[in-house]
Amino acid sequence: DAKTTQPNSMESNEEEPVHLPCNHSTISGTDYIHWYRQLPSQGPEYVIHGLTSNVNNRMASLAIAEDRKSSTLILHRATLRDAAVYYCILSGQGGSEKLVFGKGTKLTVNP
Amino acid sequence: KAGVTQTPRYLIKTRGQQVTLSCSPISGHRSVSWYQQTPGQGLQFLFEYFSETQRNKGNFPGRFSGRQFSNSRSEMNVSTLELGDSALYLCASGRGQGISETQYFGPGTRLLVL
């Protein structure tokens, strides 16, 4: 399984943008980059995913490097409800939707 | 649309017993995956089912098993429980159409083995 590397923790202030980095130097051409987050006492929640191009949705933006060896999840204005563990995951198991979670980045949002 | 439901939400068992956990996926979803979450090991993939067939399996002992029914509901069973099986067991459902599909997670079943 292709691996990802994320910082253990990050801090942000409320209403400021947050850039969560992820390195995936062994990514293959068919691997999708997924981001999920897990709020305290809840199951993981889908945030965004992409293959090659940058992606935007109502929750966040995903910026993918041209060589695809790294990506950045961007929360445009952090709120206290965004405090969670953020996981960057690659999926590429042919036909399978298996997710291989790493340790993730614990995001703290300060009021 | 109702989300993924898991029952029971909390469970206490003793060593040596067995346990069955249930997961009802989102209506129309055909794949169900199971994950174990512990403080030490994080989130680990257990197995994935699609159309009643196990499509993928994680690195867990044979005491962990699962199945999927024709209505896509899934159960997982753990036999001969050990203290180390105490964990949050999460179920996720998806449409089953491949690696780009979004997974929707349930709230989990918290199992405590005494």
B36-B33-A25 Cα angle (round to 5): 80
- Which residues of A fall within a CB distance of 8 Å from B55? 95-96
Judging contacts by C-beta atoms under 8 Å, the chain B residues touching residue A92 are: 99
Q: Which of A31, A36, A39, A97 to mutate to test the interface with B (most CBs of B within 10 A)?
A: A97
Dist CA B9 CA B82 (whole Å) = 19
* Tally of CA atoms within 13 A in the half-sphere of B45 that contains its CB: 22
Q: Tell whether the model's pLDDT for residue A32 goes beyond 60.
A: yes
pLDDT tens for residues A50-101?
A: 999 999 999 999 999 999 999 999 999 999 999 999 999 988 655 567 788 8
Output the pLDDT for position A100: 84
Quote the pLDDT of residue A93.
Answer: 56
Identify the band that residue A28 occupies on the pLDDT scale cut at 50, 70 and 90: confident
pLDDT by position in tens, chain B (length 114):
689 999 999 999 999 999 999 999 999 999 999 999 999 899 999 999 999 999 889 999 999 999 999 999 999 999 999 999 999 999 999 988 777 788 999 999 999 999
CA distance A58 to B37: 28
Q: What is the pLDDT of residue A92?
A: 66
Option in A31, A46, A92 nearest B104 (CB) = A46
* Inter-chain residue contact B100 with A32, CB threshold 8 Å: yes
Considering only CB atoms, B42 lies closest to which of A36, A95, A103, namely: A103
Q: Which of A31, A42, A46 sits opposite B103 (nearest CB)?
A: A46
Q: Whole-number mean pLDDT of chain A?
A: 92
Q: How far apart are CA B70 and CA A99, in angstroms?
A: 24
Q: Do A93 and B99 touch (CB under 8 A)?
A: yes
